[in-house]
Amino acid sequence: MIQLASFSINTTASIDGCFHYLSNMKNFGNWFPEVIKIVEANRDEIGLGKQYVETVKVPGRGLNQMTLTVKEHETPSKFATEGDFKPLRPRMQIKISENSDQTTRIDWSFYSRNEGKLFGVVMPLFKYVMGKRAKIASFELEKVLASIDG
C-alpha cells in the first residue's frame, strides 16, 4: 500500500465515544471535505463486512460513487474501510488510543492499494488532493469530537 495522507489529533472525547462516532461511516461527510453523501448499502450492523455507498467529488471526474466495505473493526481501537474506486483502490485506517492524560488520540491514514506502475503517473495528484483534504478534515474532526460527550 502507498500512504497518500495522514493526520493525528487529540481530543477530550472518550475513546468509546470517538470509536462509536468514527466507525459509523454515515458521519464521515460531517468532517471530511468533498464527501457529498454516504448511505448504507446493506442493513448489516456496523462491523466487519458492513457496506456503504459514498458519493465523492473527484478532481477532473466530477461526482463519483464507490462502495466502501468495513475491513477492520476492533472496538474501541481500530477501524478500516476499503473502497472499490479505480484506479485509487482506497483504504482508510483509523487508530484510536487513550493518552496518559485521559485524552484520546486519533491517528487517521489514507492509502492506495494500487501499486501498479501506471498508477504512479497519477499518484502525485491523488497525494496532493488527499493531503489538502486531510488537513481540513483534521480541523473539522477536532470540532466535531469536541461536541460529543467525553
Cell 472518550, residue located: 14
Average pLDDT, the chain: 94
pTM to 2 decimal places:
0.93
Q: Which domain holds residue 135?
A: 2-146
Buried residues in 48-69 as b, exposed as e (16+ CB within 10 A): eebebebebeeeeeeeeebebb
Q: What is the pLDDT of residue 101?
A: 94
pLDDT in tens, 17-63: 999 999 999 999 999 999 999 999 999 899 999 999 999 998 888 99
pLDDT in tens, 93-105: 999 999 999 999 9
For residue 105 the three cell numbers come to: 488520540
Domain containing 117 — which CATH number? 3.30.530.20
Which of 24, 29, 31 is CA-nearest to residue 147? 31
Total number of domains in the chain: 1
